[in-house]
Amino acid sequence: MIWFQLLMFLLVAAGGTGTVLTRDPKKQVIVLSFYGMLLSILFLALQAPDVALSELAVGAVALPLMLLVAIANVRKKLHK
């Protein structure tokens, strides 16, 4: 099981780096959502299912959705 935790730590580190290095805001939100899913899997591997469910709801669904709505509103106001 320790090998799976180490793998998840490496994937989470890569996901965070990928989120920071992505320049297009829409693509960055998608990578951020993937990063939230990776964190959820890591929390499951660390035997924290309650934290994993919270992270899945917030980090992989709610936050990316709010960011996409905000990006759409800003672009709509810029094109007026």
Element (H, E) at 24: none
Angstrom CA distances, 26 to 7, 13, 37, 59, 69, stand at 27, 21, 17, 16, 10
What is the sign, positive or negative, of the torsion defined by CA atoms of 33, 35, 38, 39? negative
Cα–chain center distance at 65 = 11
Name the pTM for this structure.
0.88
- pLDDT tens digits for 11-21? 999 999 999 99
Domain count, the chain: 1
Q: Which residue has the tokens 């660390």?
A: 46
Check if the beta carbon of residue 43 is closer than 8 Å to that of residue 73: no
Domain boundaries, position 39: 2-78
- pLDDT tens digits for 39-71? 999 999 999 999 999 999 999 999 999 999 999
